[in-house]
């Protein structure tokens, strides 16, 4: 079902974890649809992404696309990171099954959301970046099982 690259990134996800006091954090997706991605960016004063981490709730493709997306933005400038599309993420993974393409869109959105958070925190405007949709959470969280 999945390519070797997808399975590799699923089994050995790169950059998994959190960054304390991150420059920007973006969370996209919702638990109802089955995928949530959170990306943490550490961006230096010259606007270069020094470090990136992620956490994902989702299927194998969601994990692999998050992992690959973090690999693609690491060391890049903010502007370069903004230009990374879901298509690029998918190609880097040697493709995804058709019903899993939405996972790669989520990875692109997660990067954008983290960049938006960074821009807001630092009072800067990133050309071409739009405000991300927010609709996250495990809605029934209060309920205990």
Query: Would you name the residues annotated as active-site residues?
Result: 33, 103
Q: Does residue 34 bind other proteins (CB under 8 A)?
A: yes
How far apart, in whole angstroms, are the C-alpha atoms of residue 128 and residue 80?
A: 12
Q: Is 86 in the site for other proteins (CB under 8 A)?
A: no
- The CB-of-87 to other proteins minimum distance in angstroms stands at 21
139 binds other proteins (CB under 8 A): yes
Can residue 59 be called a binding residue for other proteins (CB under 8 A)?
Answer: yes
Please tell me whether residue 35 binds other proteins under the rule CB under 8 A.
yes
Return the range that interacts with other proteins (CB under 8 A); candidates 59-67, 82-90, 111-119, 124-132. 59-67
3-state DSSP helix/strand/coil % of the chain, to nearest 5: 40, 20, 40
Judged by CB under 8 A, the residue of 4, 127, 128, 145 near other proteins is 145
Cβ neighbours of residue 7 closer than 8 Å, sequence gap 6 or more = 60, 64
Contact 85, 99 (CB under 8 A): no
| CA pair distance 8, 4, nearest whole angstrom | 6
Measured between alpha carbons, how far is 70 from 89 in angstroms, rounded to an integer? 10
Q: Please select the residue that binds other proteins; options are 41, 49, 52, 58, rule is CB under 8 A.
A: 58
Q: For residue 115, what are the contacts with CB-CB under 8 A and spacing of at least 6?
A: 24, 26, 41, 78, 81, 82, 126, 129
Contact flag: residue 15 with other proteins (CB under 8 A): no
Verify binding: residue 24, other proteins, rule CB under 8 A. no
Using CB under 8 A as the criterion, which residues of the chain lie in contact with other proteins when the complex forms?
Answer: 7, 10-11, 13, 16, 18, 27, 31-32, 34-38, 55-60, 62-63, 99, 137-141, 143, 145
């Amino acid at each position: 079902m999945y390519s070797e690259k997808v399975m590799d990134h699923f089994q050995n996800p790169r950059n998994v974890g959190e960054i304390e006091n991150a420059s920007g954090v973006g969370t996209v997706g919702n638990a109802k649809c089955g995928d949530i991605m959170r990306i943490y960016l550490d961006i230096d004063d010259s606007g270069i992404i020094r470090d990136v981490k992620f956490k994902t709730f989702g299927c194998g493709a969601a994990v692999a696309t998050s992992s690959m997306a973090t690999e693609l933005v690491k060391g890049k400038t903010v502007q370069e990171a903004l230009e990374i599309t879901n298509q690029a993420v998918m190609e880097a993974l040697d493709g995804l099954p058709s019903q899993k393409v939405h996972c790669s869109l989520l990875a692109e959105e997660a990067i954008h959301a983290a960049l938006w958070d960074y821009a807001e925190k630092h009072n800067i405007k990133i050309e071409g970046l739009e405000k991300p949709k927010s609709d996250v959470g495990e809605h029934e969280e209060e309920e205990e099982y």
